Amino acid sequence: MDEPLLAGGALPLEVAVVALPDDKPATRRSQLLRQKNFLAGVVLLCIVIIPVLLGPVVSSVGPDVQNPALSFLPPSLGHLMGTDQYGRSIWARVVYGGRYTIGASLAVVVLGGIAGTALGLVAGYLRGTVGFIIMRAVDLLLAFPGILLALGVTAILGPSLVNAVIAVAIVAVPLYARIVEGAAREVANLPYVRAAKALGSGPGHIIWRHILPGALPGIIVQTTVYLGIAALWIASLGFLGLGVQPPTPEWGQMVSDGQASLSIAWWAVVFPGAFLAAFVVGVSLIGDALRDRLNPTGAGT
């Protein structure tokens, strides 16, 4: 899913058949569409994130308050999203659970992003043997389907939220490293970087001041794209029992909790998953719009 080739988005559409191959005007209409998508993404994210941030303000009960007398109540004004088998409020659990799913995904992109960027910068700027070894290791990690790699890492580390974050971050490392390495390689050859080198700037200075800014658009795009994937995988690991452990309300773990009573209490499954889906769709809408803007060469073609 990290392929820039997968972008739908902006193409010189009105001019379709007769356009010259390198003619790439973004038509007004496709620009508008892009803005609309971006706005839709922001709105979706706000719907999801605001209650999660407000937490106790929007939920009078805590996520772990049990009340057997209230078990399996359907959604109503008193219980917005109904209750589960222990009488816990699903709304409260969804609102508090978002902190785990979203927080863990953010941790994933920060950890994986920093490690992958560092490796990519080193490999792209220094090249040589070190660069070669780093990039072959990257190729090897990319040979595993992502979730399989994450599962393998959790098999080693054991199931927990922190280990799930580490596992999903490890999957992100080669993705960042590949993008950053390409950008760094390109920038390192530009005349102004060669000039800086000739003037006696050290490698640290050059990487920080010249190479990193050049790689930044790619890093930003990769981060928005991967944030959604990270949320999906953190929740998937939670669902499989390999991430967050009960009773912590993480969205994927909540879906797994609700599965047992699916036929009598659909709300325990539908709502946490819907919040997760809305978060991921929102992030990908924004990611696509950013990709078209920041990365015009990769967009659409």
Partner 1 sequence: MVIYAGKRLAALIVLLIGIAILVFLMLQLIPGSPVTALLGQSATNPAAVAKLTNELGLNRPLPVQFWRWLEDAVRGNFGYSYNNQQPVSALLAQNLPSTVELAGAGLLISLVGGIALGVVGAVRRNTAADSVSMGIAMTLVALPSFWLGLVLILAFAVALPWFPVVGGTSLRGLVLPAFTLGLGVLGITGRFVRSSLLEAMHSPHVAAARAKGLGRRTVFVKHVARNAVLPVLTIVGLQVGSLLSGTVLVEVVFSRPGIGRLLVQSILSKDYATVQATVLIIAGFYAVTNLVVDLLYPLLDPRVGGT
Using CB under 8 A, list all residues that contact partner 1: 1, 3, 5-8, 11-14, 16-19, 21, 27, 29-30, 33, 139-140, 143-148, 151-152, 154-156, 159, 228, 232, 235-236, 239-242, 252, 255-256, 258-259, 262-263, 266, 269-270, 273-274, 276-277, 280-281, 284-285, 288, 300-301
Query: How far apart are CB 220 and partner 1 at their closest, in Å?
Result: 19
Q: Which of 221, 235 has the CB closer to partner 1? A: 235
Q: Which of 170, 183 has the CB closer to partner 1? A: 170
Q: Which of 90, 206 has the CB closer to partner 1? A: 90
Query: How far apart are CB 155 and partner 1 at their closest, in Å?
Result: 4
Q: Which of 183, 255 has the CB closer to partner 1? A: 255
Query: How far apart are CB 45 and partner 1 at their closest, in Å?
Result: 12
Q: Which residues contact 149 (CB under 8 A, 6 or more apart)?
A: 141, 167, 170, 171
Query: How far apart are CB 265 and partner 1 at their closest, in Å?
Result: 11
Q: Which of 120, 146 has the CB closer to partner 1? A: 146
Q: Residue 216 in contact with residue 246, Cβ under 8 Å?
A: no
Q: Residue 220 in contact with residue 298, Cβ under 8 Å?
A: no
Query: How far apart are CB 20 and partner 1 at their closest, in Å?
Result: 8
* Spatial distance between the Cα atoms of 194 and 109, rounded to a whole number of angstroms: 32
The radius of gyration of the chain from alpha carbons, rounded to an integer in Å, stands at 23
Query: How far apart are CB 1 and partner 1 at their closest, in Å?
Result: 7
Distance of CA 244 to the CA centre of its chain: 18
Q: Which of 67, 259 has the CB closer to partner 1? A: 259
Q: Which of 211, 225 has the CB closer to partner 1? A: 225
Q: Which residues pair with 83 in a beta bridge?
A: 89
Query: How far apart are CB 232 and partner 1 at their closest, in Å?
Result: 6
Q: Which of 184, 269 has the CB closer to partner 1? A: 269
Q: By CB neighbour count within 10 A (0-12 exposed, 13-18 middle, 19+ buried), where does 296 fall?
A: middle
Query: How far apart are CB 96 and partner 1 at their closest, in Å?
Result: 19
